[in-house]
Amino acid sequence: MVIASEAGPSKSGREKEGSPEEKDDRTFECNICLDTAKDAVVSMCGHLFCWPCLHQWLDTRPTRQVCPVCKAAISEDKVIPLYGRGSTKQEDPRNKVPPRPPGQRTEPENNGGFPGFGFGDGGFHMSFGIGAFPFGFVTSSFNFGDHHHQRPAHGAGRGMALLDEDPFVSKIFLWVAAIFIMWLFYA
Amino acid sequence: MQSLKAGHLDASRWERRLQKELMSLMKEPPPGVEVDGDQAEQNLSLWTVHMKGAEGTLYEGESFQLQFKFSPKYPFDSPEVTFIGSNIPVHPHVYSNGHICLSILTDDWSPALSVQSVCLSIVSMLSSCKEKKRPPDNSFYVKTCNKNPKKTKWWYHDDSV
């Protein structure tokens, strides 16, 4: 691409074909105008076009937008712009074409390794939804508070173990919940 | 600076594309195909292509002439392609006035197609023919049709030939 932009002004429709540079260039030819793609975009099906060329084609048949090469469905928001290093020059006279769609980028996920060991780093909490709302609420709070003091993290089975080991505590909370519900009724 | 009219490549890109197509058709033509380069150079919007019937087919030994007309909207708009001259191939999809019933010339046209691929399609359409005959509605069509085959509402129903 860099070679192409340097050679740009001197290039005419007829150049020495078959030279190695020519062969290289042809890989990056727009499938519509057959020139080296300007403001290059690539479709999801992998076909390369100048954005102005593709835009014109999409405009030609707005109701049936297909890839000129493979006839896959295609649309303006599903093309990917290609940003090469030498492609910053903006001297294209075809200025009535809407700007090339931007690339879509997402931040890489900040993943702390194996998910099973990720409890400590980002506020893990598990809510335990058995029965009525107050009960679930209280249990989950308990779970949260408990997690730093008494038990080292062991993995995903933790929430379960809690019920088995502390039937007494559970009973207390069940009563608290029952009283809370009664209170709701009477209040 | 040239402004962009709806559906056009600007004139210089239109010319470059046709120029490139001409070069590649002269350099690597499909078998039996030869473009009249001098005529095309004179007027890039009107080409004549000579075509020979492929060996081992019903059209072996025959030669035909195809005419390509390119509108200013080419390649977004398909070229107008007809058989011309004294020998129009007798084929179920070719009318005696030279009009060709071929979907890529209208509905299925795409700007990634080229003179070369159209020629190849026509060679292959002729080659797969089993019986030389005119389309059943030939005489009616030829009497009533527009001069431009692209004005015809074609009905593409037969993929076998």
A109-123, pLDDT tens digit by residue? 766 555 555 454 545
* Integer Cα distance of A130 and B88 in angstroms: 83
What is the predicted ipTM? 0.84
Cβ contacts (< 8 Å) between B15 and chain A: which residues? 13
Option in A60, A69, A97 nearest B4 (CB): A97
With a cut of 50, say whether residue A154 has pLDDT above it.
Answer: no
| CA proximity to B59, closest of B123, B146, B139, B147 | B123
* Integer Cα distance of A102 and A82 in angstroms: 10
For chain A, percent of residues with pLDDT exceeding 70: 50
Provide mean pLDDT across the span B69-83: 96
Mean per-residue pLDDT over chain A, rounded: 69
| CA proximity to A185, closest of A132, A143, A139 | A132
**What pLDDT is stored for residue A27 in this prediction?**
82
With a cut of 90, say whether residue A129 has pLDDT above it.
Answer: no
For chain B, percent of residues with pLDDT exceeding 90: 83
CA A156 to chain centre: 27
Q: Which amino acid appears at position B6 of this protein?
A: A
With a cut of 70, say whether residue B105 has pLDDT above it.
Answer: yes
Give the residue, A81 or A138, on which the prediction is more confident: A81
Residue B119 bears catalytic tag: no
What pLDDT band is residue A158 in, cutting at 50, 70 and 90? very low
What pLDDT band is residue B66 in, cutting at 50, 70 and 90? very high
Give the residue, A187 or A37, on which the prediction is more confident: A37
**What pLDDT is stored for residue A169 in this prediction?**
84
Provide mean pLDDT across the span A75-81: 88
With a cut of 90, say whether residue A151 has pLDDT above it.
Answer: no
CA A42 to chain centre: 18
- CB-based burial, A135-168: b 16+ in 10 Å, e otherwise: bebbbbebbeeebeeeeeeeeeebeeebeeeeee
Provide mean pLDDT across the span B3-21: 78
Angle at the Cα of B153 from the Cα atoms of B146 and B80, rounded to 5 degrees? 60
Torsion sign, CA atoms A131, A135, A141, A145: negative
Cβ pair B76:A56 closer than 8 A: yes
CATH number of A29-81: 3.30.40.10
Which residues of B sit within 8 Å Cβ distance of A? 1-4, 6-10, 13, 15-17, 19-21, 23, 27, 75-77, 110-113
Domains for chain B: give ranges and CATH numbers.
Answer: 13-145 (3.10.110.10)
Beta bridge partners of A40: A50
**What pLDDT is stored for residue A141 in this prediction?**
47
Q: What is the largest CA-CA distance in chain A?
A: 94
* Integer Cα distance of A143 and A176 in angstroms: 16
Q: Which of A62-71, A129-138, A159-168 has the lowest mean pLDDT?
A: A129-138
Q: Which amino acid appears at position B4 of this protein?
A: L
pTM for the full predicted model: 0.66
Domain range annotation of chain A: 29-81
pLDDT, tens only, A79-108 = 898 888 776 555 443 445 677 777 777 777
pLDDT, tens only, A58-71 = 999 888 899 999 99
Residue from A17, A19, A34 whose CB has the most chain B CBs within 10 Å, to mutate: A34
With a cut of 90, say whether residue B124 has pLDDT above it.
Answer: yes
pLDDT, tens only, B127-160 = 999 999 999 999 999 999 999 998 888 888 777 7
Q: Are strands B63-69 and A40-42 parallel, antiparallel or unpaired?
A: unpaired
What pLDDT band is residue B42 in, cutting at 50, 70 and 90? very high
Residue B118's Cβ-count burial label (10 Å; 0-12, 13-18, 19+) is buried
Cβ pair B112:A31 closer than 8 A: yes
For chain B, percent of residues with pLDDT exceeding 70: 94
**What pLDDT is stored for residue A126 in this prediction?**
55
* Integer Cα distance of B117 and B105 in angstroms: 11
Provide mean pLDDT across the span A162-178: 78
Cβ pair B76:A57 closer than 8 A: yes
Q: Which of residues 28-67 of A touch B (CB under 8 A)?
A: 31-35, 47, 52-53, 56-57, 59-60, 66
What pLDDT band is residue A176 in, cutting at 50, 70 and 90? very high
